Amino acid sequence: MKKLNVTFVRSYRSKNSNVTFVYKVTGSKENIEAYKAIQKDFAREDEDGNSLWFTTRFIGKTGSLLITTNDKVVPDMSAFDQAASISAQYGGNFGQELAKAAAHDILRSGPVTEESPE
């Protein structure tokens, strides 16, 4: 399975009021070419020639795309699936704390705390 990296660039609201998230796609030349071939008419680039990926689901500030054996481009959501599994496995307060720590790690959003920053 081929793998690409993505970095969040921006978001916008479509004409249907759906939030769309835009990611810059990076990877080996071979994997970028495969990505472009799969995207066909939907392939887009920024002003610097970097490939872009558009989605209605936020996958974090950074992430990965996988090109499946059926030539589908899908986000690698394994970290999210693992976090959901371990928090459900333990449940209760401990499961909630595991979920919070996992979400922090996945999203890299700053310190884990229930207090508001001053």
Render pLDDT for 13-52 as a digit per residue (tens, 0 to 9): 999 999 999 999 999 999 999 999 999 999 999 999 999 9
**pLDDT band at residue 117, thresholds of 50, 70 and 90?**
very low
In whole angstroms, give the CA distance from residue 65 to residue 90: 29
In whole angstroms, give the CA distance from residue 107 to residue 103: 6
The pTM (predicted TM-score) of the whole model is 0.81
Beta strands in 46-114 (DSSP E): 51-55, 62-67, 73-75
The per-residue pLDDT of the chain, averaged, comes to 90
Kindly list the strands in the beta sheet with 62-67, ordered across the sheet, starting from the edge strand earlier in the chain. 44-45, 51-55, 19-26, 2-13, 62-67, 73-75
